[in-house]
Structure 1
Amino acid sequence: MQYIPGKKHKYGIKLFKICDENGYVHDLIVYEGKKTTPGQNLSKDVVMNLSEKYLDAGRSIVTDNFYTSVDLAKSLLNRSTHLLGTVRKNRRGLPKDIISTKLHKGEMIAKENDDGILVLKWKDKRDVLALSTKHSVGFVTVRSKRNRRKTALKPSVIAEYNKYKSAIDFSDQMGSYCNPLRRNVRWFQKLGIELLLTTSVVNAYLIYKSRKRLTTKTYTITKFRENLCIQLMDLQQRRATDPVVTKHEFGKNPLTDHRNRLIRRKCIHCYESLRQEGKSSVEAKKLTKKTSTVCLTCPTKPSVCASCFANKHSK
């Protein structure tokens, strides 16, 4: 369990996920504390473990500033894998002149080392520090999300990072709709619910949407969940049947106390009648008669006195 003050849900279990560009979760790690490989920090250890089966194939990995570092970039380059991501200014190995230079909006400064690791700083609304092993210094024209007619120049590193960084956010966003998690569920149950009813359902939704060539607007995750529930319950193939009439059976409570005496409990119908008359719950409990008889047919075997069984319960 971890406390994250900046999040809406401040307490939770930390999961590290690796997604493709569509948001499909290929693998994840449950954070169990600082159990890292000797000589590596947590963020690097997580990336190397999650991406192990995808290395040595010329792929690119996009990370946010929690994971990105020069050390990680070198390790991935040794495994024929590129790294792209924002980076924190206190990471080791970053050029000090890049970090300390003050820029005006739209300006950029960059430096590339002999290993092909490019570090750049670009001024937008605030300073953006990024690292890439697959880009060179350059700008591209991008369209505004709010006004498609408006264009602006951005470094190619930032433009591609923005394109792929939303994959994990999209997966989490889809999982937040109709979330089955509740406060009174224990932490290990929450983990099971998260994996079974959130992550796996979102993955299934992305596959289905891709196969059917649907969009998120035309076929929502909520509609997919509804259809999934219907198919799992097989409601469409069920036929209407005559309701089963259960005959209630009156008898003694089979349970006894430590002295082998019949257990006497308050009649449920007497209590309900008193509450309907306007009695408070405390008054109703005091006035309700105790009985050793129950309904033997009902699953919970509720305590019922003889008069209530004849007049209410058996009807």
Structure 2
Amino acid sequence: MHGKKDNAVEKKLGERVVKDFTENIKGKDHRIYFDNYFSSPDLLRDLKENKIRACGTVNPSRKSLPMMKSAKEMKRGDYDWATSNTGLSVMKWKDKRSVHLLSNFHDPIQTTGVTRKEKDGNEIKVSCPIGLSDYNGNMNYADKFDQLKGVYETDRKSRKWWHRIFWYFVDATVVNAFIIHKEMKLPKMTLKDFRREITRDLVAPALVASRGEKQSQSSHLQFNKKKPNVPKSVCLESSSHQPERSTRRRCAACSYKKQQIRTDWMCSVCKVPLCFRKRKIRFQDYHAS
């Protein structure tokens, strides 16, 4: 399933993957569902010959698909369909966007009703091909992990590429723990409540109790609103103050609201962002004053 066969790039990888997975269910009249990466008329025809019922979304640019009604001519709930002499049916349904479906066992004439929300918040019933409703109901199980992870995803923008990977693992760990919690038949809990319980357990009671209180006197750093204020004794008592790389923040010495000066440097002792500007070396000025 790696995309190469005999040291050559495989052109019909999606079809081959489906055929490999269905090798042991031929002639058993099973139903399978997949998305448009795998779906093609040739694949569904082959599966039908092996008595495997298959259904999936399909890219309208695939070969051998008929021309369907233009999306501009359709409104929400409208659909168009066509059948082949080999028992395949292709359906095009207009929701917010057009959806194309290919099936080797659904009757394209049969429809059902689905609920959709309008812009004003009102719910309306919209006609939908029964094949598409069946597809949506079954494909929901295939991406269950991604669905759970995406509900309360920890998404943080950053210039550091590894941050995205880190938060992905955090979310994946929470989802896996939630699944184990359900399998152990413990008291029922929603995913939101489960995440809240994890947060409560991870946050130290001492930090929660001290929220809003003043920092301890032993701390060198005391913050006044947004700008850090380091006592003079700390700035002058040590000679080990050295610049070191940090995240990009506002300079504590020369940045102000109307003109923000940002820097990648900070003091290794004071932990205060300080910039190196032409003619004015703020790092030295800050520790000399």
TM-score for the superposition, normalised by structure 2: 0.51
Alignment partner of 1:136 is 2:128: no
Alignment partner of 1:62 is 2:37: no
2:178 aligns with one of 191, 201, 205 = 205
Specify whether residues 123 and 182 from structure 1 end up closer, same or farther in structure 2 by C-alpha distance, changes over 3 A only. closer
State whether residues 103 and 123 of structure 1, in contact with CA within 8 Å, keep that contact through their aligned partners in structure 2: no
Specify whether residues 229 and 172 from structure 1 end up closer, same or farther in structure 2 by C-alpha distance, changes over 3 A only. farther
Instruction: Report how far residue 208 of structure 1 moved.
Output: 3.5
State whether residues 143 and 149 of structure 1, in contact with CA within 8 Å, keep that contact through their aligned partners in structure 2: no
Q: Secondary structure at the match of 2:42?
A: helix
Aligned residue in 1 for 2:264: none
Q: Secondary structure at the match of 2:91?
A: strand
1:281 aligns with one of 261, 264, 283 = 283
Aligned residues, how many? 215
Specify whether residues 192 and 124 from structure 1 end up closer, same or farther in structure 2 by C-alpha distance, changes over 3 A only. closer
Q: Secondary structure at the match of 1:136?
A: coil
Instruction: Report how far residue 128 of structure 1 moved.
Output: 3.3
What does the per-residue CA deviation read over 1:32-91, in whole Å, with 9 as the maximum and x for residues that have no partner? 8x6468664344355556x46885464433333343211232344456543222222210
Which amino acid is the alignment partner of residue 157 of structure 1? G
For structure 2, list consecutive stretches of 5 or more residues without a partner in the other structure: 206-237, 243-266, 273-280
Q: Secondary structure at the match of 1:71?
A: helix
Specify whether residues 228 and 127 from structure 1 end up closer, same or farther in structure 2 by C-alpha distance, changes over 3 A only. closer
State whether residues 271 and 284 of structure 1, in contact with CA within 8 Å, keep that contact through their aligned partners in structure 2: no
2:92 aligns with one of 92, 97, 121 = 121
Specify whether residues 70 and 219 from structure 1 end up closer, same or farther in structure 2 by C-alpha distance, changes over 3 A only. same
Specify whether residues 197 and 102 from structure 1 end up closer, same or farther in structure 2 by C-alpha distance, changes over 3 A only. closer
Specify whether residues 43 and 227 from structure 1 end up closer, same or farther in structure 2 by C-alpha distance, changes over 3 A only. same
Aligned residue in 2 for 1:110: 81
Instruction: Report how far residue 213 of structure 1 moved.
Output: 8.9
2:145 aligns with one of 171, 174, 188 = 171
Q: Secondary structure at the match of 2:136?
A: helix
State whether residues 36 and 57 of structure 2, in contact with CA within 8 Å, keep that contact through their aligned partners in structure 1: yes
Alignment partner of 1:155 is 2:129: yes
Which amino acid is the alignment partner of residue 283 of structure 2? S
TM-score for the superposition, normalised by structure 1: 0.47
Specify whether residues 178 and 90 from structure 1 end up closer, same or farther in structure 2 by C-alpha distance, changes over 3 A only. closer
State whether residues 107 and 123 of structure 1, in contact with CA within 8 Å, keep that contact through their aligned partners in structure 2: yes
Specify whether residues 266 and 84 from structure 1 end up closer, same or farther in structure 2 by C-alpha distance, changes over 3 A only. farther
In 1, the alpha carbon distance for the partners of 2:105 and 2:83 equals 11
What does the per-residue CA deviation read over 1:288-314, in whole Å, with 9 as the maximum and x for residues that have no partner? xxxxxxxxxxxxxxxxxxxxxxxxxxx
More relative contact order in 1 or in 2 (CA 8 Å, sep 6+)? Answer: 1
Identity of aligned residues (%): 24
Instruction: Report how far residue 283 of structure 1 moved.
Output: 4.0
What does the per-residue CA deviation read over 1:228-274, in whole Å, with 9 as the maximum and x for residues that have no partner? 9959xxx9xxxxxxxxxxxxxxxxxxxxxxxxxxxxx9536998589
Specify whether residues 273 and 43 from structure 1 end up closer, same or farther in structure 2 by C-alpha distance, changes over 3 A only. closer
State whether residues 109 and 122 of structure 1, in contact with CA within 8 Å, keep that contact through their aligned partners in structure 2: yes
Specify whether residues 280 and 155 from structure 1 end up closer, same or farther in structure 2 by C-alpha distance, changes over 3 A only. same
Q: How does 1:304-315 map to 2 (within 5 A)?
A: none
State whether residues 111 and 120 of structure 1, in contact with CA within 8 Å, keep that contact through their aligned partners in structure 2: yes
In 2, the alpha carbon distance for the partners of 1:78 and 1:230 equals 56
In 1, the alpha carbon distance for the partners of 2:174 and 2:52 equals 30
Please tell me the root mean square deviation across aligned C-alpha atoms, in Å: 5.0
Which amino acid is the alignment partner of residue 82 of structure 1? R
What does the per-residue CA deviation read over 1:79-108, in whole Å, with 9 as the maximum and x for residues that have no partner? 654322222221012134x46799654554
Instruction: Report how far residue 112 of structure 1 moved.
Output: 3.0
State whether residues 60 and 81 of structure 1, in contact with CA within 8 Å, keep that contact through their aligned partners in structure 2: yes
In 2, the alpha carbon distance for the partners of 1:192 and 1:55 equals 39
Aligned residue in 1 for 2:12: 41
What does the per-residue CA deviation read over 1:146-195, in whole Å, with 9 as the maximum and x for residues that have no partner? 489843432111212232344466533432435388847666x966874x
For structure 1, list consecutive stretches of 5 or more residues without a partner in the other structure: 1-28, 236-264, 288-315
Aligned residue in 1 for 2:208: none
In 2, the alpha carbon distance for the partners of 1:201 and 1:120 equals 39
Alignment partner of 1:267 is 2:240: yes
State whether residues 116 and 126 of structure 2, in contact with CA within 8 Å, keep that contact through their aligned partners in structure 1: no
